[in-house]
Amino acid sequence: MCQICAGSPITNKIKIDDSQTTGSRRQFIGGAAATGAAIAAMSAKYTARAADGAEVIFSNGTIIPMALQQGRVEALAVGGGKILAVGSTAEISALRGRATTFVDLQGRTMLPGLIDPHHHTVLSALVADLLMDVGYPKYRTRDEVIAALTAAAGKTAPGQWIRAGRFDNLLQGGDLSMELLDAVSTEHPIFVWYVNGHTAAANSTAFKLAKISAGVGVLPGGGHFGRGPNGKLNGLIYEEPALLRFTALAIPDVTPETLAKLVTSYTQRVAALGNTTLHEPGTIKAQWVQSLARLSTTLDVRLSASLPSDAIDESKAFAALGTGAKARVIPGSRLSLYGIKFWADGSNQQETAAQTMPYLHTASKGQTNYSESQMAQMCRAAMDAGWPILIHCQGDAAIDDALGAIESAYGAKPATGLNRIEHATMARQDQLERMKRLGVEPTFLMALLALYGAAYRDEILGADRTDFMIPTGACVKLEIPFSLHTDSPAGPIGPLRLVQTAVTRRCEIDGSVIGPDQATTLDQALMAVTINAARQIGMEDLIGTLETGKEADLTILESDPFKTDPEQIMAIKVSETWVSGEKKFG
């Protein structure tokens, strides 16, 4: 859904250069070499805490470890940021020490900390602050959006940018255009970014400032501009290279201090909805890593990230943190790195994603951003640097090419770690079977079904293809683990919303059920935001289940989702979240 990379339309405005503040790459590598000592110190702390007794004991509620061969337990003990033990009340009470704090769950339900494995954390924080929100459901129609922009123009000095975001062409009544935005104002440059992340619209004033000529063609990297029936530019802007022409002018620079403040506030919101870990896929720069690592120790969630494919050379600076399937944890922080990310195609909603069959009522099949051979080259470069690959694929043609590239470069089940297909929205049965052979796993964006299922069925792809969109049920039958994600800011935040959609398959817009045979059980949906998500970011040995020795990342709910109407799961109140044994929300 979202195609925003580290050189993206908004994150490109962040002015952080750790090379100027934290020493050379060699110095960083030298610091990273201390990882073994850091891990040893943490292990010693954990052992000491275990000997001294538990710091916190939780009991008198429902505790669901989500671990294989482990049913519900009565109590859980925490010490030194780790889970000391899970078991019966009698067993865990034996770990009581002089300073132990007892937490009475009072019938509440504890799960492993919930994980979002595809969440643009930095971008989400910036969008919330830098762009006027003109999205759905704040404004239900395009006319309401135009009225809001007109009101904003009336309060803005001439010549100043009006920049807005989250516009949804499918739910709010169609595309914006240069003509519509010129009617708002030509005294102000206007830029409106779509919620799908691939598209924006601007007025003629903005096009002049961006120096986009009437004869502009396709830009390197696939950026292009929409044209009306008369062949003239219609104000639509597609894909990152084109978007950058505008955001370089429209978006103000962001200082490290501002970024820290915005990310801190944003992660507080996310923690309040039950997340304890967020993975940022391909939307950070290598030179931000140390600053984000320092910031991570103060946040309400654990951070994980993959680097974009144009940062493979820079990624080698982190080789000293380890290789293979496990995440590379930055010493002394709650930030880890896993994988390299690139975008194979665009958006189904904009009909730019690459399909093997035409979109409904058109001859267009969309297109990939790269050839299969180019994708294979990027995969080989990532593999040679010791990383797994994450590939954005919305259409089934893109998935064909991506799997071909992975097989060519990595083969099956490589030692570099789990390779992922991001979104995999229109994956076919044969492609899922190929994923299983290769050891590739998908992560699914449930907002596409919840918000656009009816539009996919009636406007974009037709009923037969839509019923198989986001094929979680087929994955279950093939025993392919999968995860669920929000892709924020492209989708609404909150892991329980993902779980409810996976179980019910209900489109929120018209109440219809999309592909009921693809529904999952609640157990399967919860695995997709706990242990499966942990494995897909290289952290299954640290988080994702409530087991002895793992990080004490916990999500406590007011109600048991297994005793809740499936249509009401996302309404369950989050009571508390804990990260490494520290209460972060509640």
Is the peptide bond between 481 and the residue preceding it cis, with omega within 30 degrees of 0?
Answer: no
Please report, in tens digits, the pLDDT of each residue of the chain (586 residues total).
444 444 456 666 677 766 543 444 444 444 444 433 443 444 444 444 445 789 999 999 999 999 987 889 999 999 999 999 999 999 999 999 999 999 999 999 999 999 999 999 999 998 888 999 999 989 999 999 999 999 999 999 999 999 999 999 999 999 999 999 999 999 999 999 999 888 999 999 999 999 999 999 999 877 899 999 999 999 999 988 999 999 999 988 888 899 999 999 999 999 999 999 999 999 898 999 999 999 999 999 999 999 999 999 999 999 889 877 899 999 999 999 999 999 999 899 989 999 999 999 999 999 998 999 999 999 999 999 999 999 999 999 999 999 999 999 999 999 999 999 999 999 999 999 999 999 999 999 999 999 999 999 999 999 999 999 999 999 999 999 999 999 999 999 999 999 999 999 999 999 999 999 999 999 999 999 999 999 999 999 999 999 999 999 999 999 999 999 999 999 999 999 999 999 999 9
Tell me whether residue 215 is in a domain: yes
Token pair of 543, please? 């988080």
Tell me whether residue 397 is in a domain: yes
Tell me whether residue 17 is in a domain: no
The number of distinct structural domains making up the chain is 3
Sign of the four-CA dihedral 468, 472, 475, 481: positive
Q: How far apart are CA 181 and CA 203, in angstroms?
A: 5
Same domain, 38 and 90: yes
Same domain, 204 and 312: no
- What integer best gives the mean pLDDT of the chain? 92
Q: How far apart are CA 186 and CA 548, in angstroms?
A: 63
CATH of the domain at 175: 3.10.310.70
Token pair of 272, please? 């309040």
Q: How far apart are CA 441 and CA 447, in angstroms?
A: 19
Is the peptide bond between 388 and the residue preceding it cis, with omega within 30 degrees of 0?
Answer: no
Same domain, 173 and 228: yes
Q: What tens digit of pLDDT does each residue of 305-342 get?
A: 999 999 999 999 998 898 778 999 999 999 999 999 99
Same domain, 153 and 84: no
Same domain, 406 and 290: yes
Select from 501, 403, 486, 408 the least CA-distant residue to 449. Answer: 501
Token pair of 105, please? 């769950």
In the listed set 238, 269, 291, which residue is the last one of a domain according to the structure? Answer: 238
Residue type at 456 in one-letter notation: Y
Same domain, 344 and 450: yes
Tell me whether residue 354 is in a domain: yes
Question: Residue 29: its pLDDT value, please?
Answer: 40
CATH of the domain at 66: 2.30.40.10
Tell me whether residue 20 is in a domain: no
pTM of the shown model? 0.91
Tell me whether residue 243 is in a domain: no
List of residues 6+ apart from 188 with CB closer than 8 A: 153, 156, 158, 159, 160, 161, 162, 203, 205
Token pair of 319, please? 């080789």
Radius of gyration of the chain (CA): 24
Furthest CA-CA distance within the chain = 80
Question: Residue 197: its pLDDT value, please?
Answer: 84
Q: How far apart are CA 398 and CA 281, in angstroms?
A: 18
Burial code (b: 16+ CB inside 10 Å, e: under 16) for 508-543 equals beeeeebbeebbbebebbbbbbbbbbbbbbbbbebb
CATH of the domain at 443: 3.20.20.140
Same domain, 40 and 77: yes
Same domain, 63 and 146: no
Tell me whether residue 87 is in a domain: yes
Same domain, 308 and 168: no
- Kind and range of the H or E run holding 37: helix 35-52
Same domain, 412 and 558: yes
Same domain, 285 and 214: no
Quote the domain boundaries for residue 150.
136-194+199-238
Q: How far apart are CA 276 and CA 576, in angstroms?
A: 10
List of residues 6+ apart from 526 with CB closer than 8 A: 64, 66, 111, 499, 561
Question: Residue 425: its pLDDT value, please?
Answer: 98
Q: What tens digit of pLDDT does each residue of 273-305 get?
A: 999 999 999 989 899 999 999 999 999 999 999
Same domain, 313 and 450: yes
Tell me whether residue 28 is in a domain: no
